[in-house]
Amino acid sequence: ESYKNTRKYDDAIQSYNKALELLAAKPDPATEASYHMNLALVYALGSKMPEALAETEKSTKLNPATGSKAYYNLGATLVNSGKASEAADAFKKSTEVDPNNADAHYQLGICLMSRAQTTPEGKVIPAPGTVEAFQKYIDLQPNGNFAAVAKDMIATLSLSVETKFKAEKEKPAPKKK
């Protein structure tokens, strides 16, 4: 963790792999799953996405009960690293593992907002799954911390944005008397 916190990702990867080797002597699936989850986060921070996903999948297989959390943590790490597109994929996996993970649905919707398009007429076209992710959050947590924001996002996505402005006609100057 110290290596991760000081951004020495290669050293952190080596340390986690060594810890996993040592754990093999006394197998404990829950502990091993948490180490794979943490290793996945280090890989993500080091921009090694295939490895991050592989470690998250290992964590999920070892401890399915924490699988959604593993993907959620990966998504959060990616968001904090400015990788919203990859984060959306991780949050989507989190919701697939646990369809009742309300926060994962909300975060998925937030990440998908960056993919929205605006037509020349000003109509906002959300990325597929955006509205559904926010709606699922509301269904699961109608009074949750993000319920009002989720409702506002859904409302925003149904609006048109003014993309053409008309100049007002200039009024004639008053006549001098």
Residues with Cβ < 8 Å from 82, sequence gap 6 or more?
A: none
Whether the per-residue pLDDT at 166 is higher than 60: the answer is: no
Mean pLDDT over each residue of the chain, to the nearest integer: 88
The model's pLDDT over 115-155, given as tens digits with 9 standing for 90+, comes to 888 888 877 789 999 999 999 999 999 999 999 999 999 99
pLDDT attached to residue 172: 60
What is d(CA 99, CA 93) in angstroms, rounded to the nearest whole number?
Answer: 10
Query: Does residue 48 have a pLDDT over 80?
Result: yes
Q: What is the pLDDT of residue 177?
A: 62
Question: What band does 10 get if pLDDT is binned at 50, 70 and 90?
Answer: very high
> Predicted confidence band at 81 (pLDDT cuts at 50, 70, 90)?
confident
Closest alpha carbon to 91 in 102, 46, 81, 82: 102
Are the beta carbons of 72 and 94 closer than 8 angstroms? Answer: yes
Hey, how many other C-beta atoms are within 10 angstroms of the C-beta on 144? 15
pTM: 0.75
Task: Compute the residue count for the chain.
Answer: 177
Output the pLDDT for position 92: 96
% of the chain beyond a pLDDT of 90 = 59
Pure H helices in the chain: 2-5, 9-23, 29-45, 49-62, 67-80, 84-97, 102-113, 130-140, 147-157
Question: β-pairing, 117-118 with 124-125?
Answer: antiparallel
* Contact assessment for residue 72 and residue 90, using Cβ atoms and an 8 Å cutoff: yes
pLDDT at 82: 86
